[in-house]
Amino acid sequence: MPLFAVHTGIKIPSTGSVKNYADTTGATLLDFRIRLYGATTKRHYETVCESCEKREGKKKGTPSLVDFHAEREVIELKDGKIRVQFRFCCYPKCHNLGDTGYL
């Protein structure tokens, strides 16, 4: 059964760049998360480093490692597809733990 036959969209985490909270009453949504691990150390990254926290915190309050960009926290299907936009607010090299990329 195709995904869009069961779900009406996805719910992304509310980050500084998600502009509005959506009314999800009665919606069948998938919950979308991104988990990041260091490519070398396999360490799970959950927060930005101190310097990125200071830089990003000035812009949006409490920064998250992955900042989603959307009008609402629910992204609905369009032409059978869902487009999710995000950016990394901190890179693994910032943590000085030996990772140069994320998995």
CA distance from start to end of the chain: 29
Judge whether residue 4 has pLDDT over 70. no
Q: Given this model, what pLDDT does residue 59 score?
A: 67
Q: Given this model, what pLDDT does residue 19 score?
A: 76
Q: Given this model, what pLDDT does residue 3 score?
A: 53
Question: Three-class SS of residue 47?
Answer: coil
Residue 102 lies in a domain: no
Residue 51 lies in a domain: yes
Instruction: For residues 41-57, give the mean pLDDT.
Output: 88
| Number of domains the chain is built from | 1
Domain around 59 = 3-95
Residue 74 lies in a domain: yes
Residue 103 lies in a domain: no
Instruction: For residues 62-83, give the mean pLDDT.
Output: 87
Q: Tell the residue number behind the tokens 């930005």, with chain if given.
A: 48
Residue 80 lies in a domain: yes
The pTM of this model reads: 0.78
Instruction: For residues 45-70, give the mean pLDDT.
Output: 83
Cβ 63 vs Cβ 57: under 8 Å: yes
Residue 19 lies in a domain: yes
Q: What is the pLDDT of residues 21-33, one digit of tens each?
A: 777 778 888 889 9
